[in-house]
Copies of this chain bind each other. A is one copy, B any other.
Amino acid sequence: MSKRPNFNHLAIAVADIDAALVFYRDALGLQVERIEEVEREAVKVAFLPLGDGSHDIEIIQPTRDDTGVAKWLAKHGPGMHHVCIQVNDIQAALARLAAHGVELINPQPAQRSDGTRYAFIHPKSAFGVLIELYEKPAPHQD
């Protein structure tokens, strides 16, 4: 497949999702598809779909003080935390990044319960941007 990498989501870290939604939902007019607590990552996430719904803005609120997001938020204040780019072959993408000497937070992809494989690239190597890569599982063949 030669499909281009695609935008998947932009994550915005805040201290209080409900306060943030007064802006993002009520004033800016974005829809909230759902709010979910992801215990394993110690965040509450509001999913705000954009366009055809294949990508979104995710507003994340840390639910514990000792996580990366919580520490980032304490240091920087609210703002754009990471951008997620969906690729076709995350293994190949990580191999190419490593070959270029890029610092990877996850040299091997981790996997979510829905089968999505993901890995973070260190912002040091990405000009200050924390980039998450996604590879979505192939759709079922009927």
User: Which residues of A line the B interface, CB within 8 A?
Assistant: 4-7, 10, 12, 14, 20, 22-24, 26-31, 49-53, 55, 59, 76-80, 83, 85, 87, 93, 96-97, 99-100, 102, 121, 123, 125-129, 131
Whether A4 contacts B31 by the Cβ 8 Å rule is yes
Whether B50 contacts A20 by the Cβ 8 Å rule is no
Chain B residue nearest to A83 in the complex (CB) = B10
Whether A28 contacts B93 by the Cβ 8 Å rule is yes
- Inter-chain CA distance A60–B87, complex, in Å, is 23
Dominant secondary structure of chain A at its interface with chain B: mixed
Chain B residue nearest to A79 in the complex (CB) = B128
Show 14 residue pairs from A and B whose CB-CB distance is below 8 angstroms, ordered by the A residue. Answer: A4-B51, A5-B30, A6-B50, A7-B7, A12-B127, A26-B100, A27-B102, A28-B93, A28-B96, A28-B131, A50-B85, A78-B129, A79-B123, A80-B129
Whether A100 contacts B7 by the Cβ 8 Å rule is no
Quick one: which of A26, A28, A87, A126 has the most chain B CB within 10 A? A28
